[in-house]
Structure 1
Amino acid sequence: MTPAMRTGPGPSSGTSAPARLLRAVGRPLSSLPLAAAVRGAVALATPLLVGVQTGRVVPSVIAAIGALWAVGQDGSDPYRSRVRRFVALGLSASLGLAVGELALRSGPSVAVTACLVVAALVAGAIGLRGRTWSVAGMHLLLGATIGSGIPVPGPWWQAPLALSAGVGFVLVLSAAPWLWRRHHIERAALLAVFRAASTALTAAGTPGAAETRRRLTDALDNAHQAMDRHLTAARRQAPGAQVEALLRAFRLAVPLGEAVTTLQWEARPLPAAVTRMPLVMSNRLLPDRKDGAVLVLPDFTADSPGLRALAHLSVTADADRVDTALDAPAAPRPARQAQLRYAVLLALCVLAAQVCAGLLHSPRTYWLPMTVAFVYKPDFGPVFRRALHRCVGTVLGVAAIGAVSTAVHSTYAFIGVVAFFGALMAVGVRHHYALATTGLTAVVFVLVDLLGDHRALYGARILDTALAAALVLVVHFVAWPRSAGSRADSRTEAALAAAHRYRDLSPTVGAVQRQALRRAAYRQLADARRAAEHARREPTLRGAELPDWERVITSAEELCDAVTAGSLHATSGRAHTTVIVPSSDAM
């Protein structure tokens, strides 16, 4: 790699939380997840409308709480992943709610405290094992918090069933498009790879090349995860026509990443005919069903190994097959010691929050431990930033619902308010945590009001949120100040090992194994870079200088780039120059 392609390490920029929130609110309309916003509004308003019409307000509010939590975990990932996540959320939250209710009905406050501490221990023990487990753990604790903090009339099993119904409603809304857009997500993920490849080729020979290659790696990782189920199924039986088209595009996308990396490593500006090639390939493999037009492959002179590899892919895409046994890159797993420490610290924070709530005689004491459950999620990003955004979002949510309450008095108008803030929360989930917290805070105030608690608790809730965030930060940074740094250390070490494994084994293995080694190396380097970015955003109480992870990661990326280019140089014939003159049915 030439010096022009290098990027300095440097810490991430320190933009303030309010500035980032305003930037998220000001995004162009085309970039907002409108479908998710509609789902959020419908999911929260529908149970309340049903409850008002039938006179069963309490179960409808509990169902709306389940829908609220599910909207917070909605996403644009493959439908099966969403279903697994929603099922885990519904089961764990309902279990926590039932246990919390039983603890509250048993009478003594020590039973409630013991219930919350045990739930926190379990949530912490499973919370770092991946996204689905993390969601299950957090909502187990949230369910126990709500169940032990809000008295619900009726049999103990009624509220958990209502909560599950609310989660199930969001599941149906989120997964229903599978019926008529069955492979839309996989198709979108693959098209994103080809667009990222075109952008990376355009940046070849410029200082921004390395960043575009990283974005291509992220796009490939996303596509690999989206296609993983189809890759596994293709080993057992022949896929249908639609899935085969997706597999064909994926089989081209994987070696395309190798060719693009090589062309960037060659570090020379490329003509438009070359930079457009990935877009033309995607158009021919996954044509737009609306216009039906198929672009013609442009002519260019293939006078380097990278260009010859690109030319070979463009002409023989149907014949070139990456083995479907290529597994998706595995997500890194935390050490058992880290999981145990997180479980103990989460339980300690919940215990401290519950004690503080009791000492303050705060009405409806669930808010303090609930905030702890939301804030103390180190696997979701920097703890300090999450706590700050939680506080900012709570203040904005309280201000918003306070202003609305002065002008709105009808129950149906309040349901409309819930729909609006549910849509706002759905947008915030994808763009900014403070924005999501703003929507969630406003919705919770309306739901609590519908349960019969009409007290003005605006100041108390801001104080509770600030206190819970402070508890989390004090406990976390006193007992585990190097957690983010240790995570960055371990991810960087794992990425270096993967890069060296790719370097050492690449010359001796076949194309399929080489692609697997390359994908694993780049995936772990991307994970290490994200971990380093998170670590730099966490304040450290020790005052020690952080390692220069970015420099190490950049060097490892350059090593992988060189190995990739060397592999294609070794396999590409140098005795001839190829000129591509494709026919209309070349692919």
Structure 2
Amino acid sequence: MPWSAVVRGALTAGPLLLAAVLAGQASAGVVAAVGAMLAGINDRPGSRRSSVKRIGVPALAGAGGLLAGTYAGQHLDAVTLTLVLTGLGCAAGGISAVGPVASASGTQVLVAAAVGAGMPLPEPGWQRSLLFLAGAGWLLALRLALPSPGSRAGSFRFDGERAAVAEVYDAVAALLDAVAGPDATRRRAALTAALDQAQDALAGPRLRRYASSAAERRLHAQYAAALPLAEAATALAWAGEPVPARAGEGPRRLAAAVRGNTHTGPLPAPHRTAPGLRALDDALLHAAEAFDRGEGAALHARGRTVRELLPAVFGPGGREYGLRAGLCFGAGAAVAQALHHTHWSGHHQHWYWLPATAVFLVKPDLGPLVSRVLCRVAGTLLGALLFAGCAAALPRPAGLIALVVVSGALIPVAARHFAAQTAVVTVLVLALVMAGGEPQASLSRIGETLLACAIVLIVGHLPVPGRRGAGVRDRLATAGGAAQAYLAHVLGGSGDRVTRWRLRREAYRTLAEARGAIALASAELPALARHTEGADELAATLERLVDTTTACAVHLDDTGRLSPRHTRRLADLRDEVERRRERVGLRLPELPLAG
């Protein structure tokens, strides 16, 4: 139960709305509460520093979208406005293909642009943007200032980072326990996920110019010391030979030292009877030294440049993503404005709801399309009915503010399921609209959602220029390139272990991202899922290749040459990658082999 996030949710939108109502500026409070609500959706578990980017960047994007939407809605006719919103949707959709933060930013740009263009508010555009930022900034300030579980050990600012790094050591221990067992592959994947989370937690911006140097260097050293341990554990899992039970005890003691911000104490050394066990013993000794010194290489930075990110935006995957988002957003705006300007306009005051709903539905990274639509319908119906009952029974405006407080507190909990999140957000939005002086709008909200669902189902299944499944292929190509770079470095005989660990991290991380995209695509309707057939098998083969490369690296460190087993396995995997690549229709770099 994310209690700290629940407390933050209760202290953001509701109190902001209350303060504005008491000041006689209810509409200003509604805008600030919308900014806080969208920021609350991005308030996910993680470190304080990473929350600056995870919450702050989308909030800045949303403020820009609100500003652009407001002035576009005031100065453009309906047709021109629809074209502008469609173009904005294409751009934001393409940017969303970069990653989670970019996706959240693209969502907020479009939702805020629709609200700015269609929501009747007395404030000018620049004031709306500032109020939106104030609401999001208030939640971010609470995230940085309020304590969270585990913050009493050591530096207050690094509680999330410590927890993430400790999880890495626990994951190493779990993998060592599973060596030669049926859970080894799953535990290795869990280790990759733990390393990804720790890398993200440590990559946040410094909260002051001169960060608490000792604490920060200590965390970086502890993360860096986990990389050779993870490498040795992966090599042992690849070999498939049982290891002594005491092998996992050392990483567990290191995990406890990270969590409690204490010294490691004596670490049990494993038997040095195999290359992997010797590498594990060396890594434990290195970790103990790094923990004591509190200094190590800063290996948490991913180091991707803008030039490396641009293909995700302008490549086939980004173009497909952007085109669908733009078409759905533009179609939603066109249908909504057409209804708004007909004789039904009295029942269609909130036309911006339709395109805003379409944005949440069409996002390919939020889950399978039909599943999203069904969850959205169910959540909206439940939320609208709950609000209708509460609005009839509760006093105003106190009852509406109470609903906003409760809904804000429930967002972090409801985020675990799209239907639950939709229900909570529906109650919150309807309460905000009514608090702003508009009539009860539950029926209108249901109608908007059904229209948006129909639009997204139609547009989401339309054939588009280019080959379907381009996003999955883009991520597979990136993962294949990272695996090739890692293998080339290991077989090249370089003694630069720091670079090797960086390349290994990038290979596993890009493969995990590809696996996530494949899982979402495979859960779509058969008409869409068939376009990525064979992608999961190729990703699994690339993962085995990276595992084998890791085993080769450890063996080369120990003996200086590869065994026939290693070279034979590399050759077999190269052939298997080539076969599966042709089936998927993907071009990958040529894989080097040992001589």
TM-score range, shorter chain: 0.7 to 0.9
Instruction: List 4+ stretches of structure 1 deviating above 6 A.
Output: 236-239, 481-484
- Identify which of 193, 197, 220 aligns with 1:222: 197
**1:71-110 alignment runs, 5 A limit:** 71-106=40-75, 108-110=77-79
**1:360-399 alignment runs, 5 A limit:** 360=339, 361=344, 362-399=348-385
The equivalent residue for 2:3 is 34
The equivalent residue for 1:283 is 256
Native 8 Å contact 2:50 2:201 kept in 1: no
The equivalent residue for 1:183 is 158
The equivalent residue for 1:28 is none
Distance 2:545 2:52 in 1: 39
Distance 2:321 2:286 in 1: 51
- Identify which of 256, 274, 299 aligns with 2:247: 274
What secondary structure sits across from 1:74 in the alignment?
A: coil
Q: 1:63 to 1:297 in 2, by over 3 A?
A: same
The equivalent residue for 1:434 is 419
The alpha-carbon deviation at position 327 of structure 1 amounts to 4.3
The equivalent residue for 2:443 is 459
Is 1:485–2:472 an aligned residue pair? no
Q: 1:363 to 1:206 in 2, by over 3 A?
A: same
**1:277-426 alignment runs, 5 A limit:** 277-284=250-257, 286=258, 288=260, 296-298=266-268, 300-319=270-289, 323-324=297-298, 327-328=301-302, 330=304, 334=312, 336-338=314-316, 339-360=318-339, 361=344, 362-426=348-412
1:259-306 residue CA offsets vs partner (Å, 9 max, x unmatched): 11012122234443112221112334x2615xx685542354332222
The alpha-carbon deviation at position 567 of structure 1 amounts to 2.2
Q: 1:390 to 1:329 in 2, by over 3 A?
A: farther
Q: 1:426 to 1:482 in 2, by over 3 A?
A: farther
1:355-394 residue CA offsets vs partner (Å, 9 max, x unmatched): 3224443232111111012222224443443333322221
Query: How many residues get paired?
Result: 535
- Identify which of 206, 221, 225 aligns with 1:252: 225
Distance 1:534 1:127 in 2: 15
Judge which range, 162-171 or 219-228, deviates more: 219-228
Give 5+ residue unaligned stretches, structure 1.
1-31, 575-587
The equivalent residue for 2:481 is 497
Distance 2:548 2:125 in 1: 63
What secondary structure sits across from 2:331 in the alignment?
A: helix
The equivalent residue for 1:195 is 170
The equivalent residue for 1:472 is 456
Letter in 2 for 1:316: H
Letter in 2 for 1:76: P
Letter in 1 for 2:15: T
Distance 1:272 1:425 in 2: 43
What secondary structure sits across from 2:98 in the alignment?
A: coil
- Identify which of 26, 29, 53 aligns with 1:60: 29
Letter in 1 for 2:534: D
Native 8 Å contact 1:203 1:209 kept in 2: yes
Distance 2:144 2:158 in 1: 12
Q: 1:355 to 1:242 in 2, by over 3 A?
A: closer
Native 8 Å contact 1:478 1:541 kept in 2: no
Distance 1:156 1:495 in 2: 43
The alpha-carbon deviation at position 411 of structure 1 amounts to 2.1
Letter in 2 for 1:309: A
Distance 1:92 1:250 in 2: 32
- Identify which of 108, 113, 120 aligns with 2:89: 120
Distance 2:88 2:201 in 1: 33
Give 5+ residue unaligned stretches, structure 2.
561-595
1:178-203 residue CA offsets vs partner (Å, 9 max, x unmatched): 99621122211100101111111111
What secondary structure sits across from 2:42 in the alignment?
A: coil
Distance 1:64 1:521 in 2: 41
Distance 2:76 2:287 in 1: 69
The equivalent residue for 1:50 is 19
Distance 1:203 1:51 in 2: 57
Distance 1:484 1:184 in 2: 43
The equivalent residue for 1:584 is none
Q: 1:123 to 1:518 in 2, by over 3 A?
A: closer
Letter in 2 for 1:66: G
Letter in 1 for 2:508: Y
The equivalent residue for 1:136 is 105
The alpha-carbon deviation at position 519 of structure 1 amounts to 1.7
Q: 1:137 to 1:64 in 2, by over 3 A?
A: same
The equivalent residue for 1:204 is 179
The equivalent residue for 1:20 is none
Letter in 2 for 1:196: A
**1:230-249 alignment runs, 5 A limit:** 240-249=213-222
Native 8 Å contact 2:235 2:554 kept in 1: yes
What secondary structure sits across from 2:156 in the alignment?
A: coil
Native 8 Å contact 1:100 1:115 kept in 2: no
Judge which range, 477-486 or 416-425, deviates more: 477-486
Native 8 Å contact 1:96 1:143 kept in 2: yes
1:459-481 residue CA offsets vs partner (Å, 9 max, x unmatched): 33223212212212321221349
The two structures, once aligned, show a CA RMSD in angstroms of 3.1
Q: 1:114 to 1:564 in 2, by over 3 A?
A: closer
Letter in 2 for 1:390: R
The alpha-carbon deviation at position 85 of structure 1 amounts to 4.3
What secondary structure sits across from 1:452 in the alignment?
A: coil
Native 8 Å contact 2:329 2:358 kept in 1: yes
1:500-532 residue CA offsets vs partner (Å, 9 max, x unmatched): 333333031122232222222212221221121
The equivalent residue for 1:264 is 237
**Greater relative CO (CA pairs within 8 A, separation 6+):** 1
Q: 1:95 to 1:288 in 2, by over 3 A?
A: closer
The alpha-carbon deviation at position 257 of structure 1 amounts to 0.6
Native 8 Å contact 2:28 2:123 kept in 1: no
Native 8 Å contact 1:103 1:112 kept in 2: yes
The alpha-carbon deviation at position 107 of structure 1 amounts to 7.8
TM-score normalised to the size of structure 2? 0.82
What secondary structure sits across from 1:364 in the alignment?
A: coil
Percent identity over paired residues: 32
What secondary structure sits across from 1:454 in the alignment?
A: coil
The equivalent residue for 2:130 is 161
The alpha-carbon deviation at position 46 of structure 1 amounts to 0.7
Q: 1:274 to 1:265 in 2, by over 3 A?
A: same
1:208-261 residue CA offsets vs partner (Å, 9 max, x unmatched): 11011011011112222333469x99xx99982212221221121010110110
Judge which range, 121-130 or 236-245, deviates more: 236-245
Distance 2:157 2:114 in 1: 37
Q: 1:89 to 1:501 in 2, by over 3 A?
A: closer
Q: 1:64 to 1:364 in 2, by over 3 A?
A: same
Letter in 2 for 1:265: W
Letter in 1 for 2:462: V
Native 8 Å contact 2:163 2:259 kept in 1: no
Q: 1:414 to 1:237 in 2, by over 3 A?
A: closer
Is 1:547–2:525 an aligned residue pair? no
Native 8 Å contact 1:425 1:437 kept in 2: no
